[in-house]
């Protein structure tokens, strides 16, 4: 009986929600022969390349309209989940981030398996499985293969997003240097600037609910004094002592994040403290953004301003021949992609830290061993 079903499934039946751009029904679980895997990958990638959607296994349909919910047997959800996740990971390129699986009970030992696929901001995704290399998207009639013109639109859109991200970051760095930020009047002090830039923030889709004044917004280094609001969104401010100004983390209404610190460096470059605090902040701000409903993936950008002449001090005594200093005022590290919310910051940020040390005259970060493993300092 429909009234015994979970609310979501009851609504689908009672409202006669038809298959289309964001919904598809399957009577049975995916078949694990080659054609079944290709069909499943085509369904998942088509959602990711369009508006996202939900794929229901265990619902019967007629002409696209749900008519019954017999459910499917699923005695080992963890095993099925791992199998599906591995298939999506290995059978699509680039990998589709943040796919979620859920079970909705519909009777004794029967469930509906829901595969939720978010809209991807790194589309188009291609099915790559045993010689099958195709792109799919969706419209009101369901999935369809993309043609050359469709692909041109997708790739042009991605190039536009990448340009918007680079322009936003460049504009913000210019404003910071010019004193038009919560930092206040420009001082030629050494600055660390971190940007977390979700693709959704630059697609016209990114609008988040701002944190309230009781929120603890992560900071790069100093402890925040308060949460204020400005035309850009919400900002957590930390007032430093003396003449060094203050540090802040700005949460933009789009979900983008900007953090600036002018206290950690202070005419020296403490490499251990720097890497530890940046890694901690990266992990905390990604979790904070997730809580605001910011969609993955996002790009992480690190910049150092006014650092010409600073030396990166190695954690161990090394011959002075290898002592170097930053040879320019601005060190802008290229953005790296954070595909999802679960990150191991020291592993993800190693290329960033290596480039910082490169800019300071070293071959790599000496806080990692030659195999790339973080040293226990």
pLDDT band, residue 186 (cuts 50/70/90): low
Residues 140 and 285 reside in one and the same domain:
no
Query: Could you tell me if residue 77 is inside a domain?
Result: yes
Identify the domain containing residue 127 by its residue range: 2-146
The CA distances from residue 109 to 2, 124, 197, in Å, are: 17, 38, 43
Per the structure, the count of domains in the chain is 2
Tell me the whole-structure pTM to 2 decimals: 0.66
Residues 140 and 222 reside in one and the same domain:
no
- What per-residue confidence (pLDDT) applies to 244? 47
Over residues 198-217, the mean pLDDT reads: 79
Residues 290 and 355 reside in one and the same domain:
yes
Query: Could you tell me if residue 110 is inside a domain?
Result: yes
pLDDT digits (tens, 9 = 90+) for 62-93: 999 999 999 999 888 889 889 998 999 899 98
Least Cα distance to 5 among 108, 112, 106 occurs for 106
Residues 184 and 308 reside in one and the same domain:
yes
- Residue 32, pLDDT > 50, answer yes
- What per-residue confidence (pLDDT) applies to 243? 43
In which residue are the tokens 């913000």 written? 172
Residues 257 and 204 reside in one and the same domain:
yes
Residues 193 and 110 reside in one and the same domain:
no
Query: Could you tell me if residue 155 is inside a domain?
Result: no
- Residue 42, pLDDT > 50, answer yes
Query: Could you tell me if residue 176 is inside a domain?
Result: yes
- Residue 133, pLDDT > 50, answer yes
């Amino acid at each position: 009986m429909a009234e015994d079903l979970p609310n979501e499934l009851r609504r689908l039946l009672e409202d006669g929600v038809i298959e289309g751009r964001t919904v598809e029904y399957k009577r049975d679980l995916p078949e694990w022969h080659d054609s079944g895997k290709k069909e499943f990958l085509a369904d998942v990638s088509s959602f990711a390349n369009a508006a996202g959607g939900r794929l229901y296994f265990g619902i019967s349909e007629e002409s696209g309209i749900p008519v019954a919910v017999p459910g499917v047997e699923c005695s080992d959800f963890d095993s099925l989940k791992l199998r599906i996740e591995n298939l999506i990971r290995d059978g699509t390129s680039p990998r589709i981030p943040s796919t979620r699986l859920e079970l909705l009970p519909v009777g004794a030992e029967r469930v509906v398996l829901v595969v939720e696929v978010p809209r991807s901001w790194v589309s188009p995704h291609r099915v790559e499985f045993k010689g099958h290399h195709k792109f799919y998207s969706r419209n009101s009639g369901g999935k369809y293969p993309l043609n050359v013109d469709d692909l041109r639109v997708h790739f042009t859109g991605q190039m536009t997003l990448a340009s918007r991200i680079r322009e936003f970051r460049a504009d913000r760095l210019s404003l910071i240097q010019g004193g038009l930020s919560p930092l206040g009047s420009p001082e030629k002090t050494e600055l660390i600037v971190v940007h977390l830039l979700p693709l959704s923030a630059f697609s016209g889709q990114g609008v988040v609910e701002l944190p309230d004044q009781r929120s603890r917004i992560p900071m790069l280094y100093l402890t925040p004094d308060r949460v204020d609001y400005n035309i850009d969104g919400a900002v957590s401010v930390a007032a430093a002592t003396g003449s060094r100004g203050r540090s802040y983390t700005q949460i933009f209404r789009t979900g983008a994040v900007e953090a600036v610190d002018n206290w950690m460096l202070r005419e020296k470059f403490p490499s251990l403290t720097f890497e530890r605090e940046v890694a901690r902040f990266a992990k905390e701000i990604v979790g904070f953004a997730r809580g605001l409903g910011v969609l993955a993936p996002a790009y992480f950008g690190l910049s150092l301003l006014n650092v010409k002449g600073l030396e990166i001090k190695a954690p161990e005594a090394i011959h002075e021949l290898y002592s170097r200093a930053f040879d320019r005022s601005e060190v802008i590290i290229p953005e790296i992609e954070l595909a999802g919310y679960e990150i191991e910051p020291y592993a993800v940020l190693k290329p960033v830290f290596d480039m910082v040390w490169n800019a300071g005259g070293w071959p790599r970060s000496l806080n990692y061993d030659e195999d790339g493993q973080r040293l226990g300092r």
